[in-house]
Amino acid sequence: MSSVVVKSGYIIKQGGTIKSWKQRFMILTSCGTIRYFESPSSLAPKNGFDIRDINDVELVESGVGHGPGLILHMDKRAFKIKTFSAEDASKWHKAFVAVKESITSKP
């Protein structure tokens, strides 16, 4: 199955161990892979995960680092993402939910 980019763009993510905020370029694909890079031109991702690891996608109007964003709830982590606008947070939310539903509804 080929995979296409569903959504990509700059986000600001909170570190898992050290709770600092870092700007990253994130890519969400139709097969459910999520990768983030230092920049769009970076060849190797800094890290990533599979959408199947996400239990819930929470849209947050404010409070994620004092701005709009998302919290991706996983078993061992709450992955916090800040966006540059409420509109962008909503677009990311819709993309995550759509891909998750698409992946989990397949037999």
What's the one-letter identity of residue 4? Answer: V
Residue 40 structure tokens:
């769009």
Residue range 72-80: mean pLDDT, rounded:
93
Nearest to 43 by CA among 28, 22, 25: 25
* Residue-level pLDDT at 1: 54
Answer for the pair 49, 16: CB distance below 8 angstroms, yes or no: no
* Residue-level pLDDT at 8: 96
Q: What is the value of pTM for the model shown?
A: 0.89
Q: CATH fold of 5-104, please?
A: PH-domain like (2.30.29)
How does residue 107 score in pLDDT terms, banded at 50, 70 and 90?
A: low
* Residue-level pLDDT at 82: 93
Nearest to 87 by CA among 22, 7, 29, 33: 7
Please report the sign of the dihedral spanned by the C-alpha atoms of residue 11, residue 83, residue 58, residue 76.
positive
* Residue-level pLDDT at 87: 94
- pLDDT tens digit string along 16-70? 777 889 999 999 999 999 999 999 999 999 999 999 999 999 999 876 666 899 9
In SS3 terms, 4-25 reads as CEEEEEEEEEECCCCCCEEEEE
